[in-house]
Structure 1
Amino acid sequence: MLENRALIATLLGILARFVLILRVRMHAFAALLLVAIFSALAAGMAPKLAFDTVQKGMGGTLGFIAPVIGLGALFGAILEASGAVQAWAQKVSRWASVGKQRWAMGGLGLVAATPVFFDVALIILMPFIAALSSRTGRLALVFGLPLCAGLAVGHAFIPPTPGPIAIAELIGADLGWVIVFGAVTGLVSVAIAGPLLSWALDRSGNMPGQIEARAERKVNPEETPRVSFGLAGALIALPLILILLGTLGQLMLPSGLFRDTVTVIGHPFSALLIASGVTYVLLAPKTTSDRNRLGETLTRAFEPTGLVILVTGAGGAFKQVLVDTGAGAQLAEGILSFGFSPILAGFSLALLVRLAQGSATVAMITAAGLAAPIVAAANLSAPELGLVTIAIAAGASGFSHVNDSGFWLVSRLFQINEAETLRTWTLSTGLIAITGLISVLLLSLLV
């Protein structure tokens, strides 16, 4: 019994986590931190060692996560305030056919949610959905469902959004591989869960909703945007390209000054700093009102990052408890003995947490902390770690329902009831999860 004490303490801690969050309604950060401390003490750690372990795990995780999430929020806020996201929306909203618009909105969502949070991006882009549905006479959800699918995938699959960055840090994945596999699986997932699902529901007469959509402002798709389409796209892609160059440089370049320079430029800290600086210089606010708007946008952008950073830190603390008590190794050995691969284990854990508590970001962080010892025991390569990251992201994206704030945001903006939201938005996110998992499993055969 004593040799299994750490494992039993961990399993009780996991159960307590769900009870605290779901039944007691304790904040996720407080619940995760409390469970980490409880698990360490219950496993037999001396009090000082238990708190040192929690501090070590939280500090080690946040040393990377906090700057990246903060810089990502800064970059996204500058793009939002400058009108770069709106420039893409105006461009694609001019395309003529409904079929093209579906695909354009899916792609727009994927791009827009990479630097900007899901809910912020959806609110920014709702006026373009309203303009499209009014001009074509089609239901708003015909265009909105592909947009939301793209936003959900961009939010979960592709850095520099917080979720995949947190997973990568917790399981030790390289962000370059995460970007590559996130883009590949993301494109497939968006296509199936967005434009194709929208077409199928519309064609079968099962698309609910109204032509009118709720939007805070009106836009004219023919209006000339403040930022060109090409420049906006280049700026959005800049940090991803720099991070990819850093990864490729370490793989392909010989040791020396040039490789070191590429590595420095491609580090997420540098990549996001460079991208933010270049974006600010090229799209600098020219009037006092523009500068004030940028300041307000920056303040608003940093508000949700505090929660993500704290929850991620608590997840890192729990992961360290798993490592230092030996419970993680026992848990990994047990799961692997049942034939679960790290990909399937990560996906399943993330989906279970997502269904239980709603938040995709919390599901990603929680599942990554639980999957970390499984991944470590499997001794995976860098590409395989990237695939596990996307598998966790896919599971955490699946089957959004009534305990997810995104579910209610979609319901309110598109003026559909709970049952209609379940058979559209929940179905779409379910397809994202399933398609993402299948894509990852197929890619795993090649790496």
Structure 2
Amino acid sequence: MGETGYALITVAASIAALLGLILRVRMPAFLALLLVSAGFGIVYGMSPGVIIRSIQSGMGGTLGFVAVVVGLGAMLGALLEASGGVRALSGGMLKAFGERRAPLAMGFVGFVVAIPVFLDVALIILAPVLYGLSRRTGRPLVAFAIPLLAGLAVSHAFIPPTPGPIAVADILGADLGLVIAFGALTGLPAMLIAGPLFARWLERRAEFQVAAPEEEDAAEEGVGFPAALGVVLLPLALILIGTLVDALGKAGLIVLPERVAGFIVFAGHPFIALMLACLLAWFVFGRLRGVAPNALTEAMVKALEPAGVVVLITGAGGAFKQILVDSEAGAALAATLTATGMSPLLFGFAVAAIIRVAQGSATVAMLTAAGIAAPVAEIAGLSAGGAALMVMAIASGATVLSHVNDSGFWLVSRYLRLTEAQTLRSWTVTSTLVGLVGLAMTLLLSLFV
């Protein structure tokens, strides 16, 4: 057996072992990733010292960037939640679109809200808004919930600073500004098709005529819509502007004083952009809107608890990637793929989709797929735009087919009052449409990049 064949078998066995540990043994993903990384190195013939150094460098290299961004993003989301900013965003969007176009509005609400707030948290917070709309209009819950969920799913997987795309961009060396831009270009069509359009078909079916529970609407208190929207958009705008100034300056298309250009690029770094957004949220929500500082502090500290788990899993995914790189098994896999002529984007999508279906977590699927796809992207010599599109392809694959092994599946079933079969025919189809449309848009964009 040649080196390439051995590399393929070892990589495939490692993925199978990883899925077995997570699914059958119920081992935490962080420990499973580290164990498989070490096991892969031993089986592939790496020396113990090299294995340790690879895990350490992969973990440290990933966390040096991701830990800061995920921590700041979690705190920003907590500030919005504690101050009522999430409810203000949803209320403002609904007012702007009108009740008739409320499903479309809920899609955009999900798209914006899930940028700083985790999908599960956003659904729980916005559930009273869904119930209120259903009662006021007499339309079934799915008419508003499916567009919201489509928007949440898109931003959760496609738009930084959520952990998945942040980590994948770091592992692949993709420019974060381009990831945000391509995330919007691929995600918005996916949200529109998987959300409002699909919901319109669903609500005409008898089995989905499920009404909202009888309860009072929660009071709409807290910060105003402009303040909440400004806090969400500030870091995205800074990152995009910083990326544009840096790229255009290097290409000689714009000429700015060195200090001015340097300051803009500095402010557009994710660390600084998110830090400024947190400071703005603290000042606006605390000083100007009168939210108690203790409440804001408590929410921010509490938000770091789940963020810590995400950070550790992300670091372990980086360790697995580094083992593949240092063992040169990833290069052998990439060479085989290149010889077959398979598109790196399709490869990234397929790997992420397989892992997503097998173990449920979109974030774990993205991280594992990124580690496997990183050598492929390097061998293929992808451009900066190509690397950003690889992030989109992996995100698309990691979104498809949410089913019973995904915690989000059960959350949707509970809050929409659907049976398991109904959830499969609604939410599972929605998540799959998001992934497939995202892939189609990614392939379309690749023709111009």
> Normalising by the residue count of structure 2, what TM-score does the alignment of the two structures yield?
0.94
> Which residue number in structure 1 is paired with residue 237 of structure 2?
241
**Aligned twin of 1:24:** 25
Please name the residue that 1:303 is paired with: 305
Matches within 5 A, 1:411-430: 411-430=413-432
How many residue pairs get aligned? The number is: 442
Letter in 2 for 1:334: T
Q: Following the alignment from structure 1 to structure 2, what is the Cα–Cα distance between the partners of residues 201 and 177?
A: 34
User: What residue number does 2:117 align with?
Assistant: 116
Deviation of the 1:95 alpha carbon? 6.3
Cα separation, partners in 2 of 1:89 and 1:218, compared to 1, 3 Å: same
Report the CA distance between 1:211 and its aligned residue.
1.4
CA distance in 2, matches of 1:252, 1:269: 22
Q: Verify the 8 A CA contact 1:6 1:44 in the aligned structure 2.
A: no
Asked if residue 228 in structure 1 is aligned to residue 224 in structure 2, the reply is: yes
Assess, with a 3 A threshold, how the Cα gap between structure 1 residues 287 and 242 changes in structure 2: closer, same or farther: closer
The runs of 5 or more residues in structure 1 that have no matched partner are none
Same amino acid, percent of matched pairs: 50
The Cα shift of 1:214 comes to 8.7
CA contact (8 A) 2:142 2:202 kept: no
CA drift at 1:209: 5.1
Partner of 1:336: 338
Matched, 1:47 2:48: yes
Report the AA paired with residue 290 of structure 1. A
Q: Aligned partners of 1:115 and 1:168: how far apart in 2? A: 17
Q: Which digits, 9 at most, give the CA deviation of each residue in 1:370-408, with x for residues without a partner?
A: 110110111111111111101111111111000000000
Maintained 8 Å contact 1:140/1:210: yes
Do 2:318 and 2:371's aligned partners in 1 also have CA atoms closer than 8 Å? yes
Q: Deviations over 1:164-187 (max 9, x none)?
A: 001100111001000001011111
RMSD after superposition: 2.0
Q: 2: distance between equivalents of 1:213 and 1:28?
A: 36
Q: Secondary structure at the match of 2:203?
A: helix
CA contact (8 A) 1:126 1:213 kept: no
Name the SS for the 1:403 alignment partner.
Answer: coil
1:388 aligns with 2:390: yes
Give per-residue Cα distances to partners, 1:265-316, cap 9 Å, x unaligned: 1111011001111111111167998333323322332122112111111111
Q: Which runs of 5+ in 2 are unaligned?
A: 250-254
Which portions of structure 1, spanning 4 or more consecutive aligned residues, are displaced by more than 6 angstroms? 286-289
- How do 1:259-298 and structure 2 match up within 5 A? 259-284=261-286, 290-298=292-300
Task: Report the AA paired with residue 37 of structure 1.
Answer: A
1:219 is aligned to 218
Which residue number corresponds to residue 401 of structure 2?
A: 399
Q: Secondary structure at the match of 1:284?
A: helix
Measured in 1, the distance between the counterparts of 2:42 and 2:214 equals 51
Amino acid in structure 1 at the alignment position of 2:110:
G
TM-score calculated relative to the size of structure 1: 0.94
Q: Deviations over 1:221-265 (max 9, x none)?
A: xx5x53222222121100000111111111112582222111111
Q: Distance in 1 between matches of 2:38 and 2:128?
A: 46
- In the alignment, which residue of structure 1 is the partner of 2:252? none
Q: Distance in 2 between matches of 1:213 and 1:349?
A: 40
**Residues 88 and 108, structure 1, Cα contact 8 Å, conserved in 2:** yes
Distance in 2 separating the partners of 1:74 and 1:353: 29
Does the CA contact (< 8 Å) of 1:347 and 1:437 recur in 2? yes
What is the letter of the counterpart of residue 140 of structure 1? L
CA distance in structure 2 between the aligned counterparts of 1:99 and 1:370, rounded to whole angstroms: 46
Determine if the alignment matches structure 1 residue 196 to structure 2 residue 192.
no
User: What amino acid is aligned across from residue 181 of structure 2 in structure 1?
Assistant: V
The CA distance in 2 between the partners of 1:240 and 1:194, in whole Å, is 23
